[in-house]
Amino acid sequence: MKIRTMMNYMIFVILLFGAVHADATEIATPKNIILFIGDGMGVSQITAAKIVKGNLNIDRFKVVGLLTTHSHNDLVTDSAAAGTALATGYKTYNGAISVSQDKKPLKTIVEYAEDRQKATGIVVSCSVTDATPATFVAHVDSRKKYSLIAEHITKSGIDVLLGGGLCYFLPKSTDGSKRDDEKDLIAELEKRMKVIRSEKDFQDLGDVDSVAGFFATKHPARANERKPSLSELTRKAIDILSKNKSGFFLMVEGSQIDLAGHKNNQDDIISEMIDFDDAVGAGLDFAEKNQQTIVIVTADHETGGFAIHNGYIKDKKITESAFTCKNHTAVMVPIFAHGPGSSAFAGIGDNTVVGKALIQYLQESM
């Protein structure tokens, strides 16, 4: 009897370790990473888009979680501290662009991806020097140093850069420049990549391996008037980056969901959310075919303390809603994941989980 118990125990142990081993092999390391950040996108913002549009691409995710967003010393984060957490896996102070509490550079996902010879890209609907995109490529002690951030972006290894913010790349004496020196960063970028400045340039863009596209002097227009759309930019970025045999990292930001939240403008929140969700669809379409790509959708924080009080699903209409503030809030934000390695994002976690897990995947990736 005793021997029998012992045998059973041993079989159990073998089965247990076998199962753990099988699990470990199932969690394959993704070759490609696409990270979507809805700036200021809380659960209410997604709900509003869902009431108006019906099915969302975000509905296609099976792995869902929640993230706490506080910065190192503030319950309510800004986009710089939250972006740093997502891009590096570390908490820092509000306003910091991928530097630590003591202002030392924190290595970003983009820099880890470059170590692995992966192609890298950033696609945003704001100025590329804004806090969220900046945290992936720059190391600056204040998010307001746009000219310096533009220099860091120019010196980075980024292969695809699409958004606004041309004014920070032009020398001071050029019309429309917001620089305070004569540095010509466009000329610098042109040494290593194609630079385009209009929607027409974008539509005419042939087969390239790298591109910087500026579609506005500062911030691009609102979603309804913005061309190219975030989904068009995302598709093009994926086309270019996926040519790299070692894989790629792409960050796509729905930047103006936040601006609409600050203005307490529900209609703009919905149109920005739908534009963002279309871009998410482009990422998922690629990942579903490619099978080696993890797609993540999350937010840096919620904006506006937005709540939906009444409406009609049938009429696709919200009839009563409210905002509790004009700033960011401390509520947890949702995270959605699809593809290899996505189970790491289920449940409740902290926003540093995103940077930590993605950097780990890059380090494991060959």
Q: Min. distance of Cβ 300 from Zn ion in angstroms?
A: 8
Question: Which listed option, Mg ion, Zn ion, none, makes contact with residue 132 (CB within 5 to 8 Å by class)?
Answer: Mg ion
Positive/negative CA dihedral, 75, 78, 79, 83: negative
CB nearer to Mg ion: pick between 92 and 255: 255
Q: Which residues inside 222-281 make contact with Mg ion, applying CB under 5 A? A: 255
Catalytic site residue from 79, 156, 271, 321: 79
Pick the closer one to Mg ion by CB: 130 or 159.
130
Q: Is-catalytic flag, 343?
A: no
Q: What six digits make up the tokens of 82?
A: 């939250």
302 near Mg ion (CB under 5 A): no
Compute how many residues bind Zn ion; rule: CB under 5 A.
Answer: 1
Residue 301: its H or E element: strand 293-303
CA distance 219 to 109: 25
Our finding on whether 300 is near Zn ion (CB under 5 A) is: no
* C-beta separation of 335 from 69 below 8 A: no
Terminal Cα-to-Cα distance of the chain (whole angstroms): 50
Which positions from 171 through 230 interact with Mg ion, judged by CB under 5 A? none
* Length of the chain measured in residues: 366
Taking the complex as a whole, the smallest distance from the CB of residue 274 to Zn ion amounts, in Å, to 20
For residue 24, what are the CA distances in angstroms to 18, 152, 307? 10, 38, 41
- Contact status, residue 197 vs residue 146, Cβ threshold 8 Å: no
232 forms part of the interface with Zn ion (CB under 5 A)? no
- Residue 120 engages Mg ion in binding (rule: CB under 5 A): no
Which residue, judged by CB position, is nearest to Zn ion in the bound state?
258
| Contact set for Zn ion, span 243-272 (CB under 5 A) | 258
Q: How far is the CB of 132 from Mg ion (least distance, A)?
A: 3
Relative orientation angle of helices 43-53 and 266-290, to the nearest 10 degrees: 90
Q: Which one of 18-26, 33-41, 227-235, 324-332 is the stretch in contact with Mg ion (CB under 5 A)?
A: 33-41
Q: In the set 132, 210, 256, 298, which binds Mg ion (CB under 5 A)?
A: 132
Q: List, in order, residues 6 or more apart from 134 with CB less than 8 Å away.
A: 80, 83, 97, 98, 128, 140, 143, 149, 152, 153
Q: Which of the residues are catalytic?
A: 79
Residues of this chain that interact with Zn ion (CB under 5 A) are 258
Residues of this chain that interact with Mg ion (CB under 5 A) are 39, 79, 132, 255
